[in-house]
Structure 1
Amino acid sequence: MDQSLRTAARTGDIGELYSLIQRDGNVLRRIDEVEFVDTPLHIAADEGCVAFAMEIMNLKPSFAWKLNPQGLTPLHVAVKKGHKEMALSFLEIDKDLARVRGKNGETPLHFVSKVGNPDGLLDRFMEICPECIRDVTIKNRTALHIAVENNRLDVFRVLIRALTKKDYCREVVNRKDEDGNTALHIAAIHNQPEMLKLLLNCKADKHATNLVGSTALDVAQQHNNIESIIVLRGCFGPGVSNFKHKLEKQIINYVSKASLLVFHDLDDVSGDDRNALLVILGLLLATTYQATLSPPGGVWQGEINSKSEGSYDSTVPVPAPGTSVLDPLSFLLFYVPTFIVFIVTFFLTLALIKPYPHGFRTALEVLLAFVAISFDQSIFIIAPSYVEYIVINISSSIVFFLMVFMCIAYRVSKISVSIVGCRISLLVLLIISKNEIFVGAIQGLLLSLFLYDEFWKGSIVTIGCSMFLTITARVGGGSSLRYPIVLVGCWLFFNLCRFCIRRCFKWCNTVICRTFG
């Protein structure tokens, strides 16, 4: 590189840059032809000359992707030197620069994981390009591995916070490096209890083994890291924990096989195909909902006028206004398939919107759940008698629970499933037993099992369901508060029991480790 150009880049002299270009129009082109070279952009990034760097980026965007002889891009250099403004300027121009792999396959995010989080740089990294957390080095190490190894708890917290909002959280957390070690293994080796807790809360598999067959707990015991041993032993003893792990593994295995019937290769659907499918599913939802509101033959509009109906028999009960004119058998033959189509379409829609941004997707999932509840309520109102409604609800609940198991394997939103499940299970349980205390207790148990790892979301669903049904009962002339009190009480009771058991076992493990450790 021309020494004058090097000096201009180091001092940030844009005027000198254009003077050199006027004397030699190919001065930047010759640099671009070299495969590995320190470009003026590398030098400007090293010195923190933002204005000069942006001018070079404007003239030669390709410089931002070039590696210097040390295997670093200009963004790598900016991060290494701690120039936050420079690094963010690169990312705002092209966010994919965060995923360029340099020496040892390390991306700029891996560099941040080494040097720390100066002035909140990592937070902006994750906002601009959250996908970069999935990138690995040539040793198959993620940013989590590197942050743990370098004892960067500040970085680690930001990475975990970003991961919890993504569907690939479990995949990244449990990624194994070339030695088969997950981030949990590395944290156990370096005795990082806080990082271990964050990983376990983020669905890290503590039963995963490395190439020599050791779990994270085995590694912690080999290094006699008492604090790590206490965290990894968790709330259950080894025997119970292993049984629980094997049981969960078998359930997930069988459920995953069942889910392949519907959700096979759904993640590989292109954006255009996904949009087309969503349009089709939207039409199916709208059509089935409209069919509910406008059944064949219409609905009863009011009492029959006996004067105009010569054959009217006063001994026959008059249907309530708004109910279907269909006879019970025809009603069931029409509405059972309609309900099945609606429920299956509902879950397929939830599955297809999974790649959407977290906040927007959650709002859509909740709205779809309320649409499903409205659909169910419409059938209740329009059913000729309570018997037909019971049959439809039993049919729909069977389909619902099958789809729930399939969606668990596919990791569809638990919040929307639990909202619809509250409605359907309430009605089914009331059919089985008229006892409100029994219904509230069973529902509280089901919710605690299904939302065991989402206490606050589960509390919102439980309280919201109770308030809704209480208001409905009041408006309808009822006054019983037994069901909502029991539902909320059981939800809190089961979660309190789980919390106490965890604390008890943790205390026991601490005592044992300190006594015999």
Structure 2
Amino acid sequence: MDGRLFEAARTGSVSALHQLLAENPLVLADSALISPHENPLHVATKAGQLAFVKEMIKQKADLVSQENQDGFRPLDIASVLGHVEIVEEIIMTCHPDVCRLKGTHGRTCIHHAAINGRVEIIDKLLTSCGDSVKDLTSLGETALHLALKNHKLEAFTNLVKWLEKLGLEELVNWGDRDGNTVLHLAVCRKQLEIVELLLGSGNISNILELNARNSRGFTAMDLLDIVIENSNEVRLKEILQRAGGLGVQTPDHTLINTQIHPEPAPVVFEDWINYFKFKIGRDKPGDARDALLVVAALIATVTYQAAVDPPNSIFPDKTPANSLLVVPARVFSFGNTLGFSTSMVMIDYLTGGFPFNRELQLCIFAMAFSYGMAITSITPNDAIQYTTLFTALLLPYVLQKLPRGVRKRWQRPPS
């Protein structure tokens, strides 16, 4: 682009533009050849130069539909930056369908206004072209989806009011490419005020599909059960339940028949495995600790009982008198002792800082002592057996004391 033309657009000098046109009537055509991805209207719109924008539209109206190198049209730029008067000028001067031209990521100007929370611009756009609220991005998102994803509550509230004015309330049930409606998104983002707005807005609440399922077969209630952590989410769940929200399965274990996804995509087996894995950020560490304590206590109980009352197939007379049973007895005692001592280490580690911690450690020591007495009474009394038992007892404690680098390879973090 000619440097003088660029400067005229940046500063909004209409007189400079006229002078350039007098010198070279084809200056705008030359500019398109030299710089096809950035025209003077883009520059003037970025700078908020209304008078220059008006003149440029008079001189060459088709510049309004041209994209710059980033995929933005002049109306998109004005919507992003909040230049209300420029938006109004372009809409009034050009055909209203200019509002629905798609650019980068398939977004139109109303999408950009929603992303940036430009309420006044949303009003201007929907006043001129109400159907633009139905435009979808390349990811299947409406302006409602984008306002929610970018935490623009005021813009979302304004869009909901416009849906009621235009009679397009059904848009709240439209799913994006993943099948997520605005209710799914509001629940995932724990936006209580959005859920209350949807349930409290006359026509919207009547048409809102509470139990619509996304492409993975989850309702909003299912997603809430995954992320629920504090009192705010508990209240959110109560609100949904009062309104009739349900999970994928009702208490009688029958699938809910919803209108949006009557035949949800099947969930492959690997997805269920990942769903039940511990995930940092979704699952609370306290719950994981409680579950580990239960598992460790169960292992300790089973292994202790096995030492007190060993299997008859290995210890027919509770003592390995038969030389043929010596090896199985040693293998059994090593494995059982290793399981018992590992569970004791887990309990000791997970209860660190608990009240009466010293008393609890004394109990653990007493259990380990009585276990040792029980297991030695039924196994061969020789140096090999004592070495085997001590190795099994001490191995978990030794692993806890390994250098940090080695321990990292042993204790891999949960995925």
TM-score, scaled to structure 2: 0.55
Equivalent residue for 1:114?
115
Cα 1:83/1:51, change in 2 over 3 Å = same
1:126 and 1:149 map into 2 onto residues whose CA distance is: 21
1:177 and 1:237 map into 2 onto residues whose CA distance is: 20
1:199 and 1:5 map into 2 onto residues whose CA distance is: 49
1:107 and 1:199 map into 2 onto residues whose CA distance is: 25
2:77 and 2:136 map into 1 onto residues whose CA distance is: 19
Q: Please, which runs of 5 or more residues in structure 1 have no aligned partner? A: 254-517
Equivalent residue for 1:105?
106
Shift, 1:180, TM fit: 1.4
SS, match of residue 160 in structure 2 = helix
Per-residue CA shift, 1:296-344, capped at 9, x if unaligned? xxxxxxxxxxxxxxxxxxxxxxxxxxxxxxxxxxxxxxxxxxxxxxxxx
Question: CA contact under 8 A between 1:41 and 1:74: conserved in structure 2?
Answer: yes
Shift, 1:211, TM fit: 1.7
CA radius of gyration, larger in: 2
Cα 1:96/1:207, change in 2 over 3 Å = same
Shift, 1:34, TM fit: 7.5
1:114 and 1:185 map into 2 onto residues whose CA distance is: 18
Residue 137 of structure 1 aligns to which amino acid in structure 2? T
1:60 and 1:157 map into 2 onto residues whose CA distance is: 37
Shift, 1:19, TM fit: 1.3
Equivalent residue for 1:50?
50
Higher helix share: 1
Question: CA contact under 8 A between 1:35 and 1:66: conserved in structure 2?
Answer: no
Larger RCO, structure (CA 8 Å, separation 6 or more): 1
2:245 and 2:46 map into 1 onto residues whose CA distance is: 53
Give the one of 206, 217, 222 matched to 1:218. Answer: 222
Residue 96 of structure 1 aligns to which amino acid in structure 2? D
Residue 180 of structure 2 corresponds to residue 181 of structure 1: yes
1:165 and 1:125 map into 2 onto residues whose CA distance is: 14
CA root-mean-square deviation: 2.6
Shift, 1:36, TM fit: 5.1
Shift, 1:165, TM fit: 2.8
Question: CA contact under 8 A between 1:32 and 1:63: conserved in structure 2?
Answer: no
Question: CA contact under 8 A between 2:210 and 2:244: conserved in structure 1?
Answer: no
Question: CA contact under 8 A between 1:50 and 1:86: conserved in structure 2?
Answer: yes
SS, match of residue 165 in structure 1 = helix
1:65 and 1:236 map into 2 onto residues whose CA distance is: 47
Residue 212 of structure 1 aligns to which amino acid in structure 2? R
Residue 60 of structure 1 aligns to which amino acid in structure 2? K
TM-score, scaled to structure 1: 0.45
1:237 and 1:204 map into 2 onto residues whose CA distance is: 11
How do 1:417-428 and structure 2 match up within 5 A?
none
2:73 and 2:35 map into 1 onto residues whose CA distance is: 12
Per-residue CA shift, 1:102-157, capped at 9, x if unaligned? 11011111111111135x33222221211110001000100000111111111111
Residue 104 of structure 1 aligns to which amino acid in structure 2? H
Per-residue CA shift, 1:408-430, capped at 9, x if unaligned? xxxxxxxxxxxxxxxxxxxxxxx
Question: CA contact under 8 A between 1:220 and 1:226: conserved in structure 2?
Answer: no
Shift, 1:223, TM fit: 1.0
Cα 1:127/1:23, change in 2 over 3 Å = same
Question: CA contact under 8 A between 1:113 and 1:155: conserved in structure 2?
Answer: yes
Question: CA contact under 8 A between 2:79 and 2:118: conserved in structure 1?
Answer: no
Equivalent residue for 2:236?
228
Residue 184 of structure 1 aligns to which amino acid in structure 2? L
Equivalent residue for 2:192?
193
Question: CA contact under 8 A between 2:2 and 2:31: conserved in structure 1?
Answer: no
Per-residue CA shift, 1:201-237, capped at 9, x if unaligned? 4122121111211111111221113343223223447
Residue 110 of structure 1 aligns to which amino acid in structure 2? H
Q: Percent identity?
A: 30
Per-residue CA shift, 1:271-301, capped at 9, x if unaligned? xxxxxxxxxxxxxxxxxxxxxxxxxxxxxxx
Shift, 1:9, TM fit: 0.4
SS, match of residue 90 in structure 1 = helix
Q: Please, which runs of 5 or more residues in structure 2 have no aligned partner? A: 263-415
Question: CA contact under 8 A between 1:187 and 1:196: conserved in structure 2?
Answer: yes
Residue 76 of structure 1 aligns to which amino acid in structure 2? D
Residue 66 of structure 1 aligns to which amino acid in structure 2? Q
Question: CA contact under 8 A between 1:173 and 1:182: conserved in structure 2?
Answer: yes
Shift, 1:78, TM fit: 1.3
Cα 1:34/1:144, change in 2 over 3 Å = farther
Shift, 1:101, TM fit: 1.0
1:141 and 1:235 map into 2 onto residues whose CA distance is: 25
1:33 and 1:209 map into 2 onto residues whose CA distance is: 51
Question: CA contact under 8 A between 1:144 and 1:156: conserved in structure 2?
Answer: yes
1:67 and 1:168 map into 2 onto residues whose CA distance is: 30
Cα 1:78/1:222, change in 2 over 3 Å = same
